[in-house]
Amino acid sequence: NGGVSDAKNLRVKLVLLGDSGVGKSCIVLRFVRGQFDPTSKVTVGASFLSQTIALQDSTTVKFEIWDTAGQERYAALAPLYYRGAAVAVVVYDITSPDSFAKAQYWVKELQKHGSPDIVMALVGNKADLNEKREVPVQDGIDYAEKNGMFFIETSAKTADNINQLFEEIAKRLPRPAS
Ligand code: GDP
Ligand code: MG
């Protein structure tokens, strides 16, 4: 797949949005490298990783994943970051109602300024911290449904639902005509 999309091999830009500390970088590292590093440092500048997955219908999807720290602090730069993105993954931390409110802010931003056909996922991360949960699962489900988003709870720490997140996104991508 020489860098282009065709009917069998899609190549898509995916951006992660959400409050600092919700686990965006850990989700990416878990998905791409199968690792979790609890001492990982804050992302400085932008980081770019890619990962290809194969679907059951023998198509492949190459995710080009953009993970930055900048968008959390410099909201004005965010449109540069999500411009042209086919997929936006909006992440919150299930132990932090503030991060859930911030996720809703990002969804509204994307609805205003993102590509009209962008595929959006709402992700409640740190599901392993269920005893500290402050955002009910149902709140995530309801908000995602109202906004036409795919919803899932994940744990980058235990790997729970990380691959499922990307597989479900892949299934929802618009397919170019063959
Ligand atoms: P980012 O700022 O959104 O990129 O967040 P990071 O990926 O840097 O993670 C922030 C902190 O949350 C780090 O201390 C991680 O170890 C921790 N963290 C990330 N994902 C999880 C998770 O699923 N469960 C738990 N318990 N901690 C997590
Ligand atoms: Mg980060």
The closest ligand to the CA of 40 turns out to be 1
What ligand has the least distance to the C-alpha of 156? 1
Percent of the chain at pLDDT above 70?
A: 88
List all residues 6 or more positions away from 131 whose beta carbon is below 8 Å from its beta carbon.
none
71 pLDDT higher than 70? no
Which atom of ligand 1 is the closest one to the Cα of 154? 23
- Whole-structure pTM value: 0.92
- The rounded Å distance from CA 36 to ligand 1 centre is 9
Residue 125 makes CB contacts below 8 A (sequence gap 6+) with 22, 23, 26, 27, 91, 92, 93, 94, 153, 154, 155, 156
Q: Which ligand is nearest to the CA of 30?
A: 1
Mark 96-110 as b/e (b = at least 16 C-beta within 10 Å).
beebbebbeebbebb
Alpha helices in 36-85 (DSSP H): 70-73, 78-82
Q: What is the pLDDT of residues 15-68, one digit of tens each?
A: 999 998 999 999 999 999 898 887 766 555 557 789 999 988 889 999 999 987
Q: Cα torsion for 40, 41, 44, 47, to the nearest 10°?
A: 0
Ligand 1 environment, Cβ below 6 A: 18, 20-26, 38, 40, 43, 125-126, 128-129, 155-157
Report the candidate in 82, 63, 69, 77 with the shortest Cα–Cα distance to residue 22.
69
Distance from residue 49's CA to the centre of ligand 1 (Å): 17
Distance 170 CA to ligand 1 centre (A): 24
